[in-house]
């Protein structure tokens, strides 16, 4: 039997986890690993925080902190979320550890010496204002493929294309909003193109992969692979281990997947078996399974395998069961638009098993799925409470109250009893076949259907009535109901680990070491007496779930104050008009402010507006915007500002509101 190495995508240590992260890469991997371990398969689940790259340094720049302060905080924050959700890793490491740096540099040198890395002079975007090159997320612009105006310099989140900063249309520095210039620099490139045929041949053997994953990987190979830069001009990261490359670090997407190996090595060392990691990375009997989201498909099915091929020693992935995206109430999850449900907030409101159950039903296995707060509440109350919990509690309560123990040496099963016995015997095989194929939603539906059948069997047999007229029949009924509860406690464990432990404790079998196959054994090996039976699940109120900006991170969310209302007469005092910007000038020494001339129909007024971090002067000319015109004039940087332009706040940056149709300057806003 092969052993398994399961990995989950390394979460970026620049923010907390949200429901999309969990449903996409972490809950499925945890369910799968728990299932394998219940089957007695040798398996470990490896992960860790990804602590390098531009996303980290940008966060540090914005918050006035060092990258180390950022990653230290979020490593702990992320780990606490996983712990709270009972998502278990055999090892959860960090890519900032010396072990990882050393291994990444050795990996680089190995393929450099084999001729798969070379130095190339390139033209690169440079911000004159910030005095720095602009790699990856330091630049944003319009995607040349799909037109997304918020595409990053490394990838477009909308269409999934891998980009270079120079590919972007109308690029801007994400720090100051300035327009970058092109400067000459050099970087080290990985000869990805040389691996086109080996990758194509390798992918041709993966006919058992998810169709969406395989098709995306093959389409990239068909379009032709290009060599990729694997270094960056940053001060934070794994230094390039060449004397001539001072000031350069390994690109985060080169060093991050190596984190799977370094975390496995760390696991072996922690367990006092420093050579044990080799079984998982060097022994071909091991199956490596990478759980990721679809935005990481290209990296895990092409770039990473090509790196492993270039190195030559390590096993290639056996499967990459990538999931699609989870939407939130019909809209794409977006941290930049403050449209997310954060795990730290969710854990304050609900037990881990409630969250795991709700998210397991919407794992986006082959297409995007949607999380609805209303549906989440309905599933908990109607399925977990009324179906699953009801069957467990009514069975155990009846046995405890009227029988004291689960009967033994029962005979005389017939009709529906025999059907139930067959269902019990087939349950682990049915559920397991779905789990083995990464069909987590179907497996969960099979479990809940089995639970529902238990309720139907209980109702049909009417033990509350037969205990007075046919006690033996009551014993047969409750014996099989208890056997179904035992089976449920095993097959539900990968999904709801806390519930599984609690059920077995109430049933009185917590001392038994149960395997996956034991779910199909309807007989009890000893006399069982339920104890401390209590309500397994309680209904939840249909209350709002916090949706919005990152919470429970650097500081607790401030207590919300009741809204203070104004009188309608006060609102009527505000005079709002559409103005057309006709002139834009810089203000000496001001990084965020422009001096504007705005045409209001009957007059032109001078305003000072903090739009510089978002818009160039050229972009503002002739733009029509809402203006509060009867605001008391105010001196700003020695300039009298006569009014205020209204804008939205997006991550601390202004975004202008513009009329849907073309209207003349001076049009009143009502």
What is the tens place of the pLDDT at every residue in 471-530?
A: 999 999 999 999 999 999 999 999 999 999 999 999 999 877 899 999 999 999 888 899
Which of 131-140, 244-253, 300-309 is predicted with the least confidence, judged by mean pLDDT?
131-140
Q: Are 387 and 452 in contact (CB under 8 A)?
A: yes
376 located within any domain: no
- Cα 239 to Cα 254: distance, rounded to the nearest angstrom: 12
543 located within any domain: no
* 401 and 316 in a common domain: no
* 460 and 405 in a common domain: yes
116 located within any domain: yes
* 273 and 180 in a common domain: no
Output helix, strand, coil percentages for the chain, rounded to the nearest 5: 40, 20, 40
H or E segment to which residue 267 belongs: helix 258-270
What is the reported pLDDT for 161?
Answer: 80
Mean pLDDT computed over every residue of the chain: 92
State which of 73-77, 245-249, 327-331 shows the largest mean pLDDT.
73-77
DSSP state of 145: T
Whether pLDDT at 270 is above 60 = yes
Q: Are 13 and 74 in contact (CB under 8 A)?
A: yes
* 130 and 38 in a common domain: no
* 241 and 112 in a common domain: yes
Contacts of residues 651-658 at CB distance under 8 Å and 24 or more positions apart, as own/partner, are: 651/336, 652/62, 653/177, 653/613, 653/614, 654/609, 654/610, 654/611, 654/613, 654/614, 655/614, 656/611, 656/615, 656/623, 656/625, 657/625, 657/626, 658/623, 658/624, 658/625
663 located within any domain: no
- Cα 435 to Cα 543: distance, rounded to the nearest angstrom: 33
What is the reported pLDDT for 137?
Answer: 80
What is the reported pLDDT for 130?
Answer: 85
Q: Are 386 and 342 in contact (CB under 8 A)?
A: no
- Cα 542 to Cα 347: distance, rounded to the nearest angstrom: 16
Q: What is the CATH number of the domain that holds 78?
A: 3.40.50.620
526 located within any domain: no
Token representation of residue 481? 């109901």
Q: Which residues are annotated as a binding site for Zn(2+)?
A: 143, 146, 156, 159
Q: Which residues are annotated as a binding site for ATP?
A: 335
What is the reported pLDDT for 550?
Answer: 65
What tens digit of pLDDT does each residue of 275-305 get? Answer: 999 999 999 999 999 999 999 999 999 999 9
* 3-class secondary-structure state, position 422: helix
Q: Which residues are annotated as a binding site?
A: 143, 146, 156, 159, 335
Q: Are 646 and 627 in contact (CB under 8 A)?
A: yes
Token representation of residue 238? 């794994």
Token representation of residue 222? 């068909």
- Cα 403 to Cα 187: distance, rounded to the nearest angstrom: 76
Q: Which of 485, 501, 520 is the last residue of a domain?
A: 520
For 390, phi then psi, to 5°, come to -60, -45
207 located within any domain: yes
Candidates 46, 545, 498; CA nearest to 343 is 545
For 44, phi then psi, to 5°, come to -130, 150
Q: What is the CATH number of the domain that holds 427?
A: 1.10.730.10
Q: Are 585 and 612 in contact (CB under 8 A)?
A: no
Q: What is the CATH number of the domain that holds 130?
A: 2.170.220.10
Which of 126-140, 242-256, 319-333 is predicted with the least confidence, judged by mean pLDDT?
126-140
Whether pLDDT at 377 is above 80 = yes
Candidates 483, 464, 485, 489; CA nearest to 474 is 464
504 located within any domain: yes
Matching residue, tokens 């806003």? 669
- Contacts for 565 with CB less than 8 Å, ≥ 6 apart: none
What is the reported pLDDT for 290?
Answer: 99
Give the CA dihedral 20, 162, 263, 193, nearest 10 degrees: 150
Total tally of structural domains belonging to the chain: 4
Whether pLDDT at 552 is above 60 = no
What's the rounded mean pLDDT across residues 111-138? 91
* 125 and 89 in a common domain: no
DSSP secondary structure letters along 193-219: GGGHHHHHHHHTT-TTS-HHHHHHHHH
What tens digit of pLDDT does each residue of 577-622 get? Answer: 999 999 999 998 887 899 999 999 888 899 999 998 888 888 899 8
> In Å, how far are 52, 197, 303, 365, 437 from 204, measured between CA atoms?
33, 10, 16, 22, 19
- Cα 210 to Cα 322: distance, rounded to the nearest angstrom: 8
* 465 and 339 in a common domain: no
Q: Are 603 and 551 in contact (CB under 8 A)?
A: no
pLDDT interval class at 651 (50, 70, 90):
low
Other C-beta atoms closer than 10 Å to the C-beta of 599 total 19
Beta bridge partners of 644: 628
What is the reported pLDDT for 567?
Answer: 81
What is the reported pLDDT for 6?
Answer: 99
374 located within any domain: no
pLDDT interval class at 549 (50, 70, 90):
low
What is the reported pLDDT for 559?
Answer: 39
What is the reported pLDDT for 564?
Answer: 67
Whether pLDDT at 543 is above 80 = no
Residue 352's region, left for phi above 0, alpha for psi from -120 to 50, else beta, is alpha
* 220 and 190 in a common domain: yes
- Cα 600 to Cα 576: distance, rounded to the nearest angstrom: 10
What is the reported pLDDT for 569?
Answer: 80
* 143 and 212 in a common domain: yes
Question: What's the domain range around 597?
Answer: 568-656
What is the reported pLDDT for 325?
Answer: 95
- Cα 46 to Cα 42: distance, rounded to the nearest angstrom: 13
Share of the chain above pLDDT 90, in %: 75
Token representation of residue 206? 């993966």
Matching residue, tokens 């479990």? 447
Token representation of residue 630? 């009867």
* 3-class secondary-structure state, position 649: strand
* 442 and 323 in a common domain: no
Q: Which of 345, 377, 411 is the last residue of a domain?
A: 345
Q: What is the CATH number of the domain that holds 588?
A: 2.40.50.140
Beta bridge partners of 291: 8
Chain-centroid distance of CA 584 in Å reads: 42
Token representation of residue 155? 């990838």
* 243 and 119 in a common domain: yes
List of E strands, 191-257: 228-229, 231-232, 249-250
HSE value, Cβ hemisphere, 13 Å, CA-based, for 512: 21
* 169 and 245 in a common domain: yes
Whether pLDDT at 534 is above 80 = yes
- Cα 527 to Cα 509: distance, rounded to the nearest angstrom: 9
- Cα 264 to Cα 278: distance, rounded to the nearest angstrom: 9
What is the reported pLDDT for 553?
Answer: 45
H or E segment to which residue 583 belongs: strand 576-586
- Cα 37 to Cα 40: distance, rounded to the nearest angstrom: 5
Which of 48-52, 332-336, 402-406 is predicted with the least confidence, judged by mean pLDDT?
332-336
DSSP state of 257: T
pLDDT interval class at 58 (50, 70, 90):
confident
Q: Are 333 and 19 in contact (CB under 8 A)?
A: yes
What tens digit of pLDDT does each residue of 173-194 get? Answer: 988 889 999 999 899 999 999 9
What's the rounded mean pLDDT across residues 528-544? 90
Burial 286-317 (b: 16+ CB within 10 A, else e): bbbbbbbbbbbbbbbbbbbbbbbbbbeebbeb
Q: Are 516 and 39 in contact (CB under 8 A)?
A: yes
């Amino acid at each position: 039997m092969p052993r398994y190495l399961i990995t989950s995508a390394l979460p970026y240590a620049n923010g907390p986890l949200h429901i999309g992260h969990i449903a996409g890469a972490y809950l499925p991997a945890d369910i799968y690993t728990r299932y394998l371990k219940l089957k007695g398969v040798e398996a470990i689940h490896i992960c860790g925080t990804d602590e390098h790259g531009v996303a980290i340094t940008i966060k540090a720049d914005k918050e006035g902190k060092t990258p180390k302060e950022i990653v230290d905080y979020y490593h702990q924050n992320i780990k606490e979320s996983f712990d709270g959700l009972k998502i278990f890793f055999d090892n959860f490491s960090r890519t900032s550890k010396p072990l990882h740096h050393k291994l990444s540099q050795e990996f680089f040198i190995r393929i450099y010496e084999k001729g798969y890395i070379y130095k190339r002079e390139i033209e690169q975007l440079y911000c004159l204002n910030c005095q720095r090159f602009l790699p990856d997320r330091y630049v944003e612009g319009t995607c040349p493929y799909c037109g997304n105006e918020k595409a990053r310099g490394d990838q477009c989140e909308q269409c999934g294309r891998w980009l270079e900063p120079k590919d972007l249309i109308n690029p801007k520095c994400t720090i100051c909003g300035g327009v970058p210039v092109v400067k000459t620099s050099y970087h080290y490139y990985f000869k990805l193109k040389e691996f086109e045929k080996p990758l194509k041949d390798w992918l041709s053997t993966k006919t058992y992969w998810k169709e969406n994953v395989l098709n995306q990987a093959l389409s990239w190979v068909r379009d032709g692979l290009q060599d990729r830069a694997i270094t960056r001009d940053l001060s934070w990261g794994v230094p390039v281990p060449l004397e001539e490359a001072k000031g350069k670090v390994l690109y985060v997407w080169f060093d991050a997947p190596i984190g799977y190996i370094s975390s496995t090595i760390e696991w072996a060392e922690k367990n006092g078996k420093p050579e044990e990691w080799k079984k998982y990375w060097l022994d071909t009997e091991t199956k490596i399974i990478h759980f990721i989201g679809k935005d990481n498909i290209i990296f895990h099915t092409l770039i990473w395998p090509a790196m492993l091929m270039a190195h030559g020693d390590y096993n290639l992935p056996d499967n990459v069961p990538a999931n699609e995206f989870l939407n939130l109430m019909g809209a794409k999850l977006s941290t930049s638009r403050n449209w997310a449900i954060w795990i730290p907030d969710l854990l304050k409101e609900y037990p881990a098993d409630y969250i795991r159950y709700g998210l397991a039903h919407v794992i986006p296995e082959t297409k995007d799925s949607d999380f609805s707060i209303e549906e989440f509440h309905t599933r908990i109350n109607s399925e977990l409470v009324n179906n699953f919990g009801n069957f467990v509690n009514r069975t155990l309560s009846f046995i405890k109250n009227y029988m004291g123990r689960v009967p033994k040496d029962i005979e005389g099963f017939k009709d529906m009893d025999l059907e139930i016995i067959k269902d019990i015997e087939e349950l682990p095989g049915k559920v397991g076949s779905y789990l083995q194929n990464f069909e987590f939603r179907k497996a969960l539906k099979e479990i809940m259907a089995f639970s529902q059948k238990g309720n139907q069997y209980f109702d049909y047999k009417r033990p509350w009535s037969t205990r007075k007229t046919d006690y033996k029949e009551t014993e047969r009924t409750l014996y099989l109901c208890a056997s179904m509860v035992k089976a449920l406690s095993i097959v539900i464990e990968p999904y709801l680990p806390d519930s599984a432990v609690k059920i077995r404790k109430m049933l009185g079998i917590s001392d038994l070491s149960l395997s996956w196959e034991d779910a199909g054994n309807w007989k009890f090996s000893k006399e069982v007496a339920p104890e401390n039976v209590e309500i397994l699940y309680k209904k939840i109120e249909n209350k709002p779930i916090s949706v919005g900006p990152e919470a429970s991170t650097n500081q607790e969310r401030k207590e919300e104050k009741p809204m203070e209302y104004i009188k309608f007469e006060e609102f009527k005092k505000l005079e709002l008009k559409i103005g057309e910007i006709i002139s834009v000038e810089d203000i000496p020494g001001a990084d965020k402010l422009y001096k504007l001339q705005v045409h209001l129909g009957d007059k032109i007024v001078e305003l000072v507006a903090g739009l510089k971090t978002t818009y160039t002067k050229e972009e503002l000319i002739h733009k029509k915007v809402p203006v509060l015109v009867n605001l008391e004039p105010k001196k700003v940087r020695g300039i009298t500002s006569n009014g205020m332009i209204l804008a939205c706040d997006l991550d601390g940056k202004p975004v202008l509101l513009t009329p849907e149709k073309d209207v003349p300057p001076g049009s009143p806003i009502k």
